[in-house]
Each structure stands twice: as structure tokens, then as C-alpha cells.
């Protein structure tokens, strides 16, 4: 498994969250915790929408939560909570499919391959 302990999970979350957010631009949405001071810059969640799938990773009470959702016609059909390594693998697959059509997806896939 990729995230062996809590510290590793937080590092993975920041690297993947910030890296994907930067590379994917409009495909990714990041939210940050807090309103003021130090906490205002803490990444709370990253959500990546690729086709009908939405990949969301959040940090909840120091633990990573990874969810893959399936949408159809703008309606959420299912949410599947998965292990972080499964989330990363499925995201890589979807990015590989998108990379054929999108430069942003290709760059994100390269970044994820190097960092993840």
C-alpha cells in the first residue's frame, strides 16, 4: 500500500493534490481548510473529474479517504470508497485514456508517474 502511515499519507496527499491540481487545471478542484493564518493553506480535498468518473481524495482527521464516483447525465450514480493505492491506479488508467485527447491529462499522468 502506498500510504504506510499517517505521515506518509499527509505527504502523499499534498504531493498528489497540489501536483494534480496544477497539471489538470480546470479538471481538478482543490479546497483548503481554515479561513485565516496557517491553516488557510492546508489542502483539505482534491477532486478530479474525468469523463463520467470523479476521483476525490480528502484528509479527514489525519487520515486519507479516497472515493471514486460515477456520474451519468450530471447525476451521481455511485460512490466507492477505495484504498489510496487503488485510487491512484484507477486515476492513472483514466488519465491514460484522457491523455490521447488532452494535453493537460497527459501532463498530469506524467506528473503522477514521477511523484506517485
Separation CA 73–CA 80 (nearest Å):
18
Q: Which helix (H) or strand (E) holds 13?
A: helix 6-24
* pLDDT tens digits, 35-94: 665 556 777 888 988 888 999 999 877 788 999 999 988 889 999 999 988 988 898 888
Separation CA 78–CA 47 (nearest Å):
15
* pLDDT tens digits, 3-44: 445 566 777 777 777 777 777 777 788 887 766 655 567 778
Amino acid at each position: 500500500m502506498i500510504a504506510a502511515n499517517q505521515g506518509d499519507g499527509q505527504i502523499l496527499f499534498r504531493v498528489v493534490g497540489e501536483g494534480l491540481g496544477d497539471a489538470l487545471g480546470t479538471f481538478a478542484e482543490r479546497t483548503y481548510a481554515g479561513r485565516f493564518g496557517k491553516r488557510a493553506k492546508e489542502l483539505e480535498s482534491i477532486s478530479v473529474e474525468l469523463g463520467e468518473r470523479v476521483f476525490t481524495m480528502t484528509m479527514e482527521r489525519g487520515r486519507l479517504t479516497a472515493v471514486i464516483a460515477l456520474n451519468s447525465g450530471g447525476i451521481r450514480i455511485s460512490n466507492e470508497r477505495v484504498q489510496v493505492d487503488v485510487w491512484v491506479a484507477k486515476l492513472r488508467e483514466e488519465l491514460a485514456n484522457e491523455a490521447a485527447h488532452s494535453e493537460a491529462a497527459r501532463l498530469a499522468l506524467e506528473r503522477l508517474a514521477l511523484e506517485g
